[in-house]
Homo-oligomer: A and B are copies of this chain.
Amino acid sequence: MVKPIKIGIVGYGNIGRGVLSAIEKNRELYGDVSVAGILTRRPEQVKKLVSGVEVVDFDKGNDINPDVLILCGGSATDLPVQGPQFVKNFNTVDSFDTHAKLPDYFHEMDKAAKENNNVSVIATGWDPGTFSLERVLADAFIPGVKPYGFYGLSKKGGLSMGHSDAIRRVSGVKDARQYTHAIPEAMESVRKGENPTLQTGDMHWRECIVVAEDGADKDKIANEIKSMPNYFEPYKTTVDFVTQDELNDKYQDLPHDGAVIAVGTNGDGSKSLIEYKNEWESNPASTANILLAHARAAYRLKEEGKSGAFTILDVPAAYFSPKSKEELLKDFM
């Protein structure tokens, strides 16, 4: 029996809870991971939510002695501070997802990780993450291809936490959920190999389910949402008002799905298509299991003497797997 990899969880929101249950499930199945404990800014509250798990303050990481920390905070304010800080003392995995700032974050983490002889796997989950991997593979396996990403394929669409938060900040809004929907005609054009030039609003539309405060001006709210730059302005956007009870009743799940589609032409003129799709009933639970697989990879990279920052593009697939080399050769190749 191999000694399990001890995973510390930093932050206990949706993703943190998902990571805890992912560790439990993987421990039962494979025995190769265990919970070292939870680091949180509010240990007293979190202690009431979990049992049999060490819960300590943010700066007491050494008390739980983790092999790898999974940072479950957000990219806007948490990770830019926490990433460089935690990697000084620990191997880390995070889901930094601000695409525009990703190269800078990589280099900052790479420097900090190397200086402290630790490993940090950054920017993982599904996008950036598995979708990034599939874009690179499609680009390598179909020469000169243009990979497209679509989100919210199912009827329900995909719940966007960031966009839901943005709506909640509008004056007069009590609560809200935002569902992203892919535009099927755009997907069909891509699948046919037309490699269309698509603007942001050609690929997706946005459905907003809003609870207004009593007496609020609903037209004003709807207009303010629809004209929000970047978030909603470039899209066809619908705004529907419901009661808080309806929202609580019908809009509590956190589903998401998406696809990477790439169609290109070989040297002999023949066409190739690659399409990769995922459907998550619970986005945080599925994302958490991906993060956990990357903690395995971080541990293995460190064990073989590596240090610095890595993305999913830098890690062999075998490093994510709980299976042995011989099992992979025999049962998975």
| Per-position 1/0 for A259-279, Cβ under 8 A of B | 000000011101111111111
Q: In the complex the two chains form, is A277's CB within 8 Å of B278's CB?
A: no
Nearest residue, chain B, Cβ from A126? B141
Q: Is A266 a contact of B29 with CB atoms below 8 Å? A: no
In the complex, which of the residues B99, B277, B320 contacts A275, with contact meaning CB atoms closer than 8 Å? B277
Interface: A330 (CB within 8 A): yes
| Interface size in chain A (residues, C-beta < 8 A) | 70
Contact, CB under 8 Å: B311 / A282: no
Q: Does A196 reach chain B (CB closer than 8 Å)?
A: no
Are the C-beta atoms of B277 and A289 separated by less than 8 Å? no
Give the residues in chain B near A289, CB-CB below 8 Å.
Answer: 141-143, 266-267, 272
Contact of A136 with B by CB under 8 A: yes
Contact indicator B313/A332 (Cβ below 8 Å): yes
Q: Are A314 and B320 in contact (CB under 8 A)?
A: no
Q: Are A318 and B272 in contact (CB under 8 A)?
A: no
Set B99, B143, B312, B315: member contacting A22, Cβ < 8 A: B143
In the complex, the 5 A-B pairs of residues with the closest C-beta atoms, listed nearest first: A21-B267, A25-B267, A270-B282, A140-B320, A270-B281
- The prevalent SS among residues of A at the interface is helix
Contact A320 B141, beta carbon cutoff 8 Å: yes
A305 an interface residue at 8 Å Cβ cutoff?
Answer: no
Whether A224 sits at the interface, judged by CB under 8 Å, is no
How far in angstroms is the closest Cβ of chain B from A138? Answer: 9
Given A132-B333, A135-B332, A279-B273; A326-B293 close (CB under 8 Å): no
Say yes or no for A316: interface residue by CB 8 A criterion: yes
A95–B103 CA distance with the chains assembled, in angstroms: 35
Chain A 275-333 interface residues, beta-carbon cutoff 8 Å to B? 275-282, 285-286, 288-290, 293, 296, 311-318, 320-323, 326, 328-330, 332-333
CA distance A132 to B316 in the complex (A): 13
Q: In the complex the two chains form, what is the Cα distance from A132 to B315 in whole Å? A: 16
13 more CB-based (< 8 A) A-B contacts, given A136-B332, A267-B285, A314-B316: A17-B268, A21-B268, A25-B144, A103-B326, A106-B329, A130-B137, A134-B276, A139-B322, A142-B289, A266-B286, A271-B281, A276-B277, A313-B333
Is A141's CB under 8 angstroms from B317's CB? no
